[in-house]
Structure 1
Amino acid sequence: MDPEKTAPFELGRGEDACLLLHGFTGSPWDVRPLGEALAARGLYVRAPQLPGHGSTPEALLSVSHRDWAQAAAQALLSLRGYRRIFVAGLSMGALLALRLAADYPEQVQGLALVAPALRFKGPHMWLLKRLRRHGLLERVKPWVYKTGTDVSDPAVLAEAPILPAFPSARLQDLWELQDMAMSVVNRVRSPALVAVAEQDHVVDPACGQVLVRGLTASPQVRFISLSAGFHIIPRDKGGPLLASEVGSFFDRLRPAPAETTPTRPAAGTP
């Protein structure tokens, strides 16, 4: 993977901030268009690179979901001092965002959960999960190989940084995060936007409605289903609409600009 493409980034300036979390085997590159759109709306945006990601398949051998959750929490807590803090996550990043909102309700004032990876799609992942239940997963298939990423736009796909493989042991971490997300979703008190791609080939788009129903303590939940594009929504054809929806949702949660009263000239001045 190209380290320049996959590097963490910080964008924008403002009194309000947004933490952007990428997905499993992905990198900050996947969410950068969303970060740029939010920065243009006056938000400070930070997108960290999760441990083990953005470099080589072997880098994922020595990390777990605990490392990813810890890195996300540290990134959130580093944003203290901003007026409002929002968290947006893609795929696995959405699961991490849910946990942050449940664990740090005073810090997270709004959520954007994009293509949440609550349940994977297709017979391949079903088979791997069965192997895991029988203790055979890592012996039968120690590595899972990838030939691409789930993007419909051929121009974007051609330039996408793709991790060619990952240790099958990390699937256990993903399944742990799925269970964790469902166990905390009813504790989330932040307003939330849930976005799915109807043509997602990685996660089941029906997961979006599962989250909507589970966010019982959230005062406001918005659901959008995008007909254009695949799983990596911020980089795909539905990316501009997603950015507009997330930006508008966060804008409504931000304090209105203070109205300024014209200063009256002092007596005796022209």
Structure 2
Amino acid sequence: MDPEKTAPFELGRGEDACLLLHGFTGSPWDVRPLGEALAARGLYVRAPQLPGHCSTPEALLGVCHRDWEGAALQALLSLRDYRRVFVAGLSMGALLALKLAVDCPERVHGLALIAPAVRFKGPHMWLLKRIRHHRLLERVKPWVYKTGTDLSDPTVLAQAPILSAFPSARLQDMWTLQDAVMEALPRVRCPALIAVAEQDHVVDSEGGRVLARGLTASPQVRFISIQEGFHIIPRDKGGPLLASEVGGFFDRLRERKTPADDPAPSSRRPAAG
């Protein structure tokens, strides 16, 4: 992968910050347009590289979900001096964002969950998850090869950095994260925005609706369905709408005098858009 394109980045300045987490086999490049839009609204934005990503397929052999969770936690703790900290994540990054909200409720003041990888698309992935304890996939097909990424815009797709393969064993880590997040959903107590792409070929958009229903302790849940573009929403045709929705959502949370001003869970009113 191109080290310049996939490098971590920091943008903007302000009293409030946003931690921006990329997805599995992805890179900060995938989420940079959203980071630029949030920085333009007065947020400091940090987008790290997750362990094992942004270099070679072999680099993913030596990591697991605990490494990704640990890196996300360290990045969150590095933002301790900001008034409010929001976490936005794409795909697997959305799962990590939810974990942070559960494990560090006093530090996460709002979430943007973009194309959350709650359910992979297709019956084959469903079946593989059901029989995952037999590790059949790892024995039969130790590597999964990629020739592209899920973008509808051909110009952007031609520019995209692509990891050519990943160890199928890492799907075990993805499934572990999925299960942990679904179990922990009722303990998320901060406002959340969920954005799905209806034409996503990687994850099932219905998973986002499942999240919205499961965030029963969240004081505010906003769900948006994006009709244009595929899985990598921040880089695709729905990117401007996403940036506007996430930026406006965080702006409204920032307008409250203190984090304690967030509405109580009993006043939760899910909104659809």
Q: Would the TM-score normalized by the shorter structure come out above 0.5?
A: yes
Indicate the RMSD between aligned Cα atoms, in angstroms.
Answer: 1.2
- Per the alignment, do residues 145 and 113 of structure 1 end up closer, same or farther by CA in structure 2, a change over 3 Å counting? same
Deviations 1:58-97 (A, max 9, x none): 0000000000000000000100010110000000000000
Identity %: 83
What is the CA–CA distance in structure 2 between the aligned matches of 1:189 and 1:126, rounded to whole Å? Answer: 29
Paired residue type of 1:169: A
Match of 1:175 in 2: 175
Match of 2:114 in 1: 114
Count residues in correspondence: 257
Aligned pairs (5 A) from 1:213-228: 213-228=213-228
Match of 2:53 in 1: 53
Structure 1 stretches lacking a partner, 5+ long: 258-270
What is the CA–CA distance in structure 2 between the aligned matches of 1:89 and 1:51, rounded to whole Å? Answer: 15
Paired residue type of 1:149: T
Matched, 1:13 2:13: yes
Match of 2:188 in 1: 188
Structure 2 stretches lacking a partner, 5+ long: 258-273
Paired residue type of 2:167: P
Mean Cα deviation higher: 180-189 or 38-47: 180-189
Query: Is residue 131–residue 137 contact of structure 1 (8 Å, CA) maintained in 2?
Result: no
What is the CA–CA distance in structure 2 between the aligned matches of 1:65 and 1:152, rounded to whole Å? Answer: 29
What is the CA–CA distance in structure 2 between the aligned matches of 1:203 and 1:30, rounded to whole Å? Answer: 16
Match of 1:230 in 2: 230
**Other structure's SS at 1:144 match:** strand
Match of 1:265 in 2: none
Shift of 1:138: 1.3
Match of 2:98 in 1: 98
Deviations 1:29-49 (A, max 9, x none): 000000000000000000000
Deviations 1:204-237 (A, max 9, x none): 0001110000000000000000000000000000
Match of 1:250 in 2: 250
Matched, 1:138 2:138: yes
- Per the alignment, do residues 49 and 198 of structure 1 end up closer, same or farther by CA in structure 2, a change over 3 Å counting? same
Q: TM-score, normalised by structure 1?
A: 0.93
Shift of 1:127: 4.8
Matched, 1:2 2:6: no
Shift of 1:255: 3.2
What is the CA–CA distance in structure 2 between the aligned matches of 1:101 and 1:134, rounded to whole Å? Answer: 32
Shift of 1:131: 5.5
Q: TM-score, normalised by structure 2?
A: 0.92
Deviations 1:90-139 (A, max 9, x none): 00000000000011111000000000000100244235435534332211
Paired residue type of 1:28: P
What is the CA–CA distance in structure 2 between the aligned matches of 1:135 and 1:218, rounded to whole Å? Answer: 36
Match of 1:205 in 2: 205
Paired residue type of 2:45: V
Give the greater-gyration-radius structure (CA). Answer: 1
